[in-house]
Amino acid sequence: MSSYAWIGLGNMGGPMTANLVSAGHMVKGFDLNEQACAAAAQGGVQIAGSIAEAMEGVEAVFTMLPKGQHVRAVYEGEAGIWAHATDQMLLIDSSTVDIETSRYIHEGSVQRGLNFVDAPVSGGISGAAAGTLAFMLGGEEKLMVRATGYIAPMSGRTIVAGAASMGIAAKICNNMMLFIDLMASAEGSQLAEKLGLDPKVFWEIASVSSGRSWAQQTWYPVPDVIDTAAANNNFEATFRTDLARKDVGLALDAGQSTGVRLPAATLAKDHFDELIAQGLGDRDCSLIVKNLLPDESVRGWDPEKAS
């Protein structure tokens, strides 16, 4: 049995900690949100009143927080992780953050003689619940075996991406590719409809042809073609538009700092911004199909029925 502190018990942290508890581990959790704490307690997490209390005597300290600013906030200050960590603990951040924050936490940890690994995830809320998330790890080689062990009960696949911040670099590039692929599926699906193709037949053709992608296989934005599409469910989020905007924004920031032009990612950002400006940031990101049709007559989308 291993012992964990877990900061951030939201949509991802909740089910991830439940899997740790199910695998027989001890988890002490902290979150600012009472509802998140109550749900995690139901999954067997011991709720702590502070970061310090959660960290007392544990082997691994995970953070699963919305953005870089939240990760910095829980690491810094007298009440933060750095102030209470020992060199026996392994600190692991699984949040999707910007490269600068990841480097800052790595450097700050090394300066204090602490052990830190960046370990973002792919697989969404369903992967978190099923314990099949893909983890991508960045940090010192000597920490990887230990990190992989703590991650195992939550993971379908763990891949060491490289040195410090390479996990987050892989995550940012991967998600940028996903949202560019989503644009291809959105445009292809709507044009195919207007040209008179049967959507299921066209989807099958693309699936065995060069239009195939994960987005096309999983998020194809037309109702009644594939079971996993949000289009079957009035675009209720399987991946929220505002989270997609955050991820593609991280890629654009990284493009700017490295001097790489990312015109397709910029288009994806514009699509998401358009939906967010209409108050649709909480709908599924595949609702970008709505930006393609002048009359907004998107099959599967009924704004009246959107909760």
- 142 is known as an active-site residue: no
Nearer to ligand NAD, 65 or 192 (CB): 65
10 Å CB burial of residue 221 (0-12, 13-18, 19+) is buried
Least distance between ligand NAD and beta carbon 192 (Å): 28
The encoded tokens of residue 246 equal 């955050």
How many CB atoms are closer than 10 A to CB 133?
A: 26
**CA separation for the pair 203, 211 (Å, rounded):** 9
Binding mask 227-246 for ligand NAD (x = CB under 6 A): ------------x---x---
Which residue bears the tokens 């949509």?
11
Least distance between ligand NAD and beta carbon 105 (Å): 13
The encoded tokens of residue 172 equal 């940012």
Catalytic pick among 28, 171, 246, 269: 171
**Interhelix angle for 13-22 vs 34-42, to 10°?**
20
Q: Is 211 in the site for ligand NAD (CB under 6 A)?
A: no
Q: Is 47 in the site for ligand NAD (CB under 6 A)?
A: no
Q: Is-contact 252 245, C-beta < 8 A?
A: no
Which range binds ligand NAD by CB under 6 A, 19-27, 68-76, 135-143, 268-276?
A: 68-76
Q: Which of 4, 6, 8, 284 binds ligand NAD (CB under 6 A)?
A: 8
Q: Is 95 in the site for ligand NAD (CB under 6 A)?
A: yes
Q: Is 73 in the site for ligand NAD (CB under 6 A)?
A: yes
Q: Is-contact 238 228, C-beta < 8 A?
A: yes
Which range binds ligand NAD by CB under 6 A, 104-112, 120-128, 217-225, 295-303?
A: 120-128
Q: Is 11 in the site for ligand NAD (CB under 6 A)?
A: yes
Q: Any residues with CB less than 8 A from the CB of 285 and at least 6 apart, and which? A: 179, 182, 219, 237, 239, 240, 241, 243, 244, 272, 275
Binding site for ligand NAD (CB under 6 A): 7-13, 30-33, 36, 64-66, 70, 73-74, 95-96, 121, 124-125, 239, 243
- The set of catalytic residues is 171
